[in-house]
Structure 1
């Protein structure tokens, strides 16, 4: 809770605000992403809007949950993950000195912004609040915009002033060595977390302990590779490591029918994936089908937490 305590205690009202806009990520998925960042001169009204967005997101947070691949936050919570597990340091490192050389000077510098970061500085404390940019920042959308009509001095007139929307909340905070994530999908997109999942899946398939439990992996590979949630689940399978447990795998072979699975095994005990059974195989290897000792019902669960008895 240290990061949330620091966030809650931060004096945003008296903080110095700098708006940074970023394009990217770029570069190979196997390497750290490259971002192009520029800071934007803002007036007092914009600074207040940015502070309001910071405060609105901060004020809704009541609970911190540990980030996991399958964890989901609710309207009053955020997911906590260490910056060393992400590429957040690349973003915060790019938003360093506000020099004339990296200042946005033209509309072109803002168009096609991927995300913006509110850099809030008070004393020795720096907190970043990050938000994915909406379509008002995209060139394709801007070309399709018709002129806006506004009422001025009792008559309608055309206003072709360039417009970029700032939302009333943010997707995640960078507080010290931790991230507090409210928008998981946006966080994964901005910091290239899906690409990390693909790399992890390739590493998982290369493990003899994993590939060795299947007759072949063609259908499982097709089921997982292009689906973000399935990639998360594959990484969670690797983290849990149940496939390495001989006793777990033997109990799966013996009890899969009782638990309603239609998983196929060959004569040697290897799993034979089919397009119809891939989702069941993933559920089984995650250990996400559980039996209640109270109702005696069998349930699929989204996440599991071991209870200390």
Structure 2
């Protein structure tokens, strides 16, 4: 909670604000992403709106959860991940200084920006708040509609370029950590875990994983290119329960108690079928748990280990 507490202690409403618009990420998915940024002169009203959005966003966060592939936050929480575990450094290097050559001077410098980053400076502290852009930033959208405004009981055309600011931020970078409010936007902007397909391919080639199955083909077909199932497969690889012989033996001995009917061959290997693949995924994730109080069995979306 230290990052959040320190963030809440800052005078965010009194910050100096600079707005950057960024295009990217570009480059091969297997490489570090590349970004192209422009800083924009903004009015006091825009600065005040950005500060109000940050103050509101920080005030909403009451709980910080550890980021993981399957973790999800709610309206009162954020997922925290160290910045050095992401491509945040590539982004911050691009927008580190408001150099003259980086200033936005034409509409085309703003159009088609993928996201914007508001830089808040409070003394020696710097807070970055980022958000994916609205459709109004896209050239296609701008050329396909006419903007109107209503004044003196009359509609009139406003042909000036329009760019919308959201009333929330997707994630905040502060003190070497990232507080994630919108997981999908965060992963898209920083290409976090963009190589999940490669990770799954590595899992399929891992000897310890292959040794657990008679054939992994049904499981591979089940996962396919489904984003959620790829996440789960990567989480299985990260957790590595299949490498633990004691875990696998307890799965064979106790699966019926937990409502599973996974088939094993005579050598103790899993016989994967289309019907049992969802159960196999849950079992290897260790996502079916029994309450020590009610003795009821539950499926969970993610787990956080508690020290006792």
In the alignment, is the contact (CA less than 8 A) between 1:6 and 1:175 conserved in 2? no
Flag as ranges the 4+ runs of structure 1 deviating above 6 A: none
Indicate how the Cα distance of structure 1 residues 151 and 294 shifts in structure 2: closer, same or farther if over 3 A, else same: closer
Question: Over aligned residues, Cα RMSD in angstroms?
Answer: 1.8
Aligned to 1:250: 249
What is the TM-score normalised by the length of structure 1? 0.93
Following TM superposition, by how much is the alpha carbon of 1:209 offset from its aligned partner in structure 2, in angstroms? 0.9
- For residues 225 and 82 of structure 1, what CA distance do their matches in structure 2 show? 30
Aligned 8 A contact 1:24 1:35 in 2: yes
Aligned to 1:20: 20
Pairwise CA distance, 1:93:
1.3
TM-score (norm 2): 0.93
Q: Which residue of 1 aligns with 2:135?
A: 135
Partner of 2:7: 7
In the other structure, the counterpart of 2:288 is 289
Paired residue total: 308
Deviations 1:189-208 (A, max 9, x none): 11112413333323323321
Give the secondary structure class of the aligned counterpart of 1:58.
Answer: helix
Per the alignment, residue 101 of structure 1 pairs with 101
Shift of 1:177: 0.8
1:171–1:182 contact (8 Å) kept in structure 2: yes
Give the SS at the match of 2:128: strand
Correspondences of 1:79-158 after superposition (within 5 Å) = 79-145=79-145, 147-153=146-152, 155-158=154-157
Tell whether 2:235 aligns with 1:236.
yes
What is the alpha-carbon distance in structure 1 between the residues aligned to residue 19 and residue 115 of structure 2? 11
CA contact (8 A) 2:208 2:242 kept: yes
Q: 1:5 to 1:289 in 2, by over 3 A?
A: same
Q: Which runs of 5+ in 1 are unaligned?
A: none
Asked whether the equivalents of residues 3 and 177 of structure 2 are also in contact (C-alpha less than 8 Å), the reply is: yes
1:45-60 to 2 correspondence within 5 Å? Answer: 45-60=45-60
